[in-house]
């Protein structure tokens, strides 16, 4: 982890990531086992933990990569025309975030930086999402009495809330988009505009 210097080390790390990716492809994130990864990559167990602080750090990498791809797709779009637009754009990412309970748990644990210097991939995607959404909010048809960065943080808070509720049997029936649109209409629009 602390700056891999030898190229052998880089290859090993790449093999571990590739093996993990393949296993996830086959049976999902929740079923991923460190033992299977090292077996498939042909290295010893200890080697894994020489490259990743713990299993969560690997998940951070894998999940962060997918989130990043979703964020990339949002880049360079014009501001959304209304709340429905906004939610529709976020939906692919939110759907992935809620594809497995375990995935959402990892995201919750990792969405904040563990330390100032070492911000993980997932935490970085939250930051990137802000960078994209804030200008949208600022130039779109949304309330102006609250700073756009605060509104953007609120969007993340409500998104997490909706996903969390989705994992309860009580709320599993309704999807993510509808409740989120309800929340964000209240959050992003000035009363007279609603």
- Residue spans of beta strands (DSSP E) within 19-90: none
Residue tagged 């330390």 (tokens): 115
Using CB under 8 A as the binding rule, whether residue 113 contacts a copy of itself is answered as yes
In the bound state with DNA, the residue whose beta carbon lies nearer, of 33 and 144, is 33
Helix (H, G, I), strand (E, B) or coil at 43: coil
* Residues 158 and 180 sit within 8 Å (Cβ to Cβ): yes
Instruction: Give the binding-site size for a copy of itself (rule: CB under 8 A).
Output: 36
* Chosen residue from 31, 72, 157, 178 binding a copy of itself by CB under 8 A: 157
* Chosen residue from 39, 49, 82, 130 binding DNA by CB under 7 A: 49
As a whole number of angstroms, the distance between CA 21 and CA 115 comes to: 26
* Residues 79 and 136 sit within 8 Å (Cβ to Cβ): yes
* Chosen residue from 47, 96, 156, 181 binding a copy of itself by CB under 8 A: 156
CA distances from 152 to 28, 104, 159, 183 (A): 30, 20, 11, 13
Using CB under 8 A as the binding rule, whether residue 5 contacts a copy of itself is answered as no
In the bound state with DNA, the residue whose beta carbon lies nearer, of 8 and 76, is 8
* Chosen residue from 165, 175, 177, 181 binding a copy of itself by CB under 8 A: 165
Using CB under 8 A as the binding rule, whether residue 150 contacts a copy of itself is answered as yes
In the bound state with a copy of itself, the residue whose beta carbon lies nearer, of 126 and 136, is 126
76 binds, among a copy of itself, DNA, none (CB under 5 to 8 A by kind): none
As a whole number of angstroms, the distance between CA 177 and CA 90 comes to: 9
CA distances from 92 to 35, 41, 52, 87 (A): 31, 31, 28, 10
Using CB under 8 A as the binding rule, whether residue 3 contacts a copy of itself is answered as no
Which segment (34-42, 73-81, 123-131, 183-191) binds DNA by CB under 7 A? 34-42
CA distances from 176 to 30, 76, 98, 160, 182 (A): 21, 25, 9, 10, 10
* Residues 84 and 10 sit within 8 Å (Cβ to Cβ): no
In the bound state with a copy of itself, the residue whose beta carbon lies nearer, of 76 and 145, is 145
Query: Could you list the residues that contact DNA (CB under 7 A)?
Result: 4-9, 11-12, 32-35, 42-47, 49-51, 54-56
């Amino acid at each position: 982890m602390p700056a891999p210097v030898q190229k052998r080390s880089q290859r090993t790390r790449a093999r571990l990531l590739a093996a993990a990716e393949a296993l996830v492809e086959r049976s999902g994130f929740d079923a991923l086992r460190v033992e299977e990864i090292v077996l498939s990559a042909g290295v010893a167990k200890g080697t894994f933990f020489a490259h990743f602080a713990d299993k969560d750090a690997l998940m951070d990498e894998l999940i962060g990569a997918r989130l990043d791809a979703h964020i990339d797709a949002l880049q360079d779009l014009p501001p959304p025309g209304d709340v429905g637009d906004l939610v529709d754009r976020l939906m692919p990412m939110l759907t992935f975030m809620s594809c497995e309970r375990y995935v959402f748990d990892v995201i919750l644990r990792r969405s904040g930086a563990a330390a100032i210097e070492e911000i993980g991939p997932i935490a970085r995607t939250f930051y990137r999402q802000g960078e994209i959404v804030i200008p949208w909010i600022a130039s779109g048809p949304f309330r102006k009495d609250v700073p756009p960065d605060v509104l953007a943080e609120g969007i993340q808070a409500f998104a997490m809330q909706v996903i969390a509720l989705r994992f309860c049997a009580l709320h599993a029936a309704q999807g993510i988009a509808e409740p989120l649109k309800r929340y964000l209409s209240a959050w992003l629009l000035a009363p007279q505009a609603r």
